[in-house]
Structure 1
Amino acid sequence: MLRGDLTATADGGVTFAFTVENAGDEPVSLTFSDAARADFVVDDERWRWSDGRLFAQVLGEETLAPGESRTYEAEWPDPDPGTHEARAELLAREHDCEARTRFEI
């Protein structure tokens, strides 16, 4: 069982930190189709971290032991003023995990 937590820190731009934790009792293997591990979206597509980026087409795998976590980060360098909602999602093929947070610029 994976649990996600998302934080947004605004300081000129916005830095997102998406922490994925294995909250289960067994190790979890995560398989990725390319070099991207997570994606970040603000306000249902106002901004998406992966837009316009190319990722190496290399299969990847990470294993999380019980209680272990991994943090993925992204930056929105030129955010729009206002109150926003961000969503982060894990891009593993066989496991779903996402988290949301609200923040203000």
Structure 2
Amino acid sequence: MLTATLTTTPRDDYVEFELTVENQGDESVTLSFRDARRAEFVVSDAAGDGEVWRWSDGRMFAQMLGSETLDAGESMTFEGVWDDPVPGEYVAIGELAAADADADAETHFSVESV
């Protein structure tokens, strides 16, 4: 069983995202990926006005199949950065990009005026 936690760290001119996926099961899990992307980060306006940023937008990923194995009790952390965010209240979702497993987490955060 995979579980996910998402941490956001607002800085002066960017926000760091860390999605940690942990295998809480008793056996190893092999995750299959369709390309080099391992995770996705999506930020929406906390007021419900829709998506304001997506980590993968404008990025190119190597088109190669890949896999990662998570042993029982092991975790992996994936990182992303949102540059120059507009001040406001947001909801972030971090999602594992595996083709054969689901793990996602959500958190609320604020970006203050600098």
Q: Shorter-chain TM-score: which interval?
A: over 0.9
**What percentage of aligned pairs have identical amino acids?**
55
Can you give the 5+ residue segments of structure 2 that lack an aligned partner in the other structure?
45-49
Question: Matched residues in 2 for 1:84 and 1:99: separation?
Answer: 14
- Structure of larger gyration radius: 2
Q: Which runs of 4+ in 1 moved over 4 A?
A: none
2:34 is aligned with 1:33: yes
User: What is residue 6 of structure 2 aligned with on the other side?
Assistant: 6
User: What is residue 61 of structure 1 aligned with on the other side?
Assistant: 67
TM normalised by structure 2 equals 0.90
User: What is residue 77 of structure 1 aligned with on the other side?
Assistant: 83
Select between 66-75 and 40-49 the one with higher mean Cα deviation: 40-49
Question: Matched residues in 1 for 2:30 and 2:86: separation?
Answer: 37
Question: Matched residues in 2 for 1:97 and 1:3: separation?
Answer: 6
2:53 is aligned with 1:50: no
User: What is residue 47 of structure 2 aligned with on the other side?
Assistant: none
Question: Matched residues in 1 for 2:79 and 2:94: separation?
Answer: 10
Question: Matched residues in 1 for 2:106 and 2:18: separation?
Answer: 11
Deviations 1:4-61 (A, max 9, x none): 0000001121000000000111100000000000000000421000001110001110
Question: Matched residues in 2 for 1:80 and 1:25: separation?
Answer: 43
TM normalised by structure 1 equals 0.98
Select between 39-48 and 13-22 the one with higher mean Cα deviation: 39-48
Can you give the 5+ residue segments of structure 1 that lack an aligned partner in the other structure?
none
Question: Matched residues in 1 for 2:109 and 2:101: separation?
Answer: 27
Question: Matched residues in 2 for 1:60 and 1:2: separation?
Answer: 18
Question: Matched residues in 2 for 1:97 and 1:6: separation?
Answer: 11
SS of the counterpart of 1:53?
coil
Q: Which amino acid aligns with 1:104?
A: S
Q: Which amino acid aligns with 1:41?
A: V
